[in-house]
Amino acid sequence: MELSIVVADTSVLINFLKLDRMDLIARHSSKFLVTNHVSDEVTRHYISQRVRLMDAFESGILQEHPVADEQDVALFGKLCTDLGAGESSAIAFALHRDYALAMDDGKAIKIAKKISKDMKIFRTQDLFQSMIQESLIDILEADSLKQELETVHRFKMPFQSFSHFTK
């Protein structure tokens, strides 16, 4: 995965926070950031993850950026008619800087691709695959984390094992 900067939406971020595996984000070859709207969503709706998010900011794993640029605010406003503030801000911030986007919401991904066919969008599973490729985790650990997301946190991925991607 050739990335330098990835804007994470709440959907992907919360998976790593719930797993308590922000260490994987820290060691990934890409730099991850979130918008102030994503940070606010996590803080308001995922109270138990708030401390892990603040720790990620304090340790430099994540950076928070406001959506304040005129172009960002204009696109953000348009997107908010169909999407939540987190998705809208992540798409707007990534688009105007040619950053990649980490997002799991199918509707938001469809809208982002409609705006920019060239935008790189990575789901949680894509990030796990890149972490396997970068030797941050092996297939067994990725499958274990996938299983935890499915059984404990009700987040499903549409395949049985990450070994499917190494063939």
Q: Residues 115-122: what's their mean pLDDT?
A: 94
Establish if 40 belongs to a structural domain: yes
Dist CA 142 CA 15 (whole Å) = 13
* pLDDT tens column, 67-96: 999 999 999 999 999 999 999 999 999 999
Establish if 103 belongs to a structural domain: yes
62 - beta bridge partners? 32
Question: Considering only CA atoms, which of 118, 40, 43, 101 is closest in space to residue 92?
Answer: 101
8 Å CB contact between 79 and 111: yes
Establish if 154 belongs to a structural domain: no
DSSP helix/strand/coil, 28: coil
**Average predicted confidence (pLDDT) for the chain:** 94
8 Å CB contact between 73 and 86: no
Helix, strand, coil percentages (3-state) for the chain, rounded to 5, are 60, 10, 30
Establish if 44 belongs to a structural domain: yes
Say if residue 166's pLDDT is above 80: no
Establish if 14 belongs to a structural domain: yes
* pLDDT tens column, 104-115: 999 999 999 999
The predicted model scores a pTM of: 0.93
For residue 1, the model assigns a pLDDT of 46
Residues constituting the chain = 167
Q: What percent of the chain has pLDDT over 70?
A: 97
Establish if 87 belongs to a structural domain: yes
Establish if 79 belongs to a structural domain: yes
What's 97's domain CATH number? 3.40.50.1010
Expressed as residue numbers, the domain containing 39 is: 5-137
Name the band, by pLDDT with cuts 50, 70 and 90, for residue 164: confident
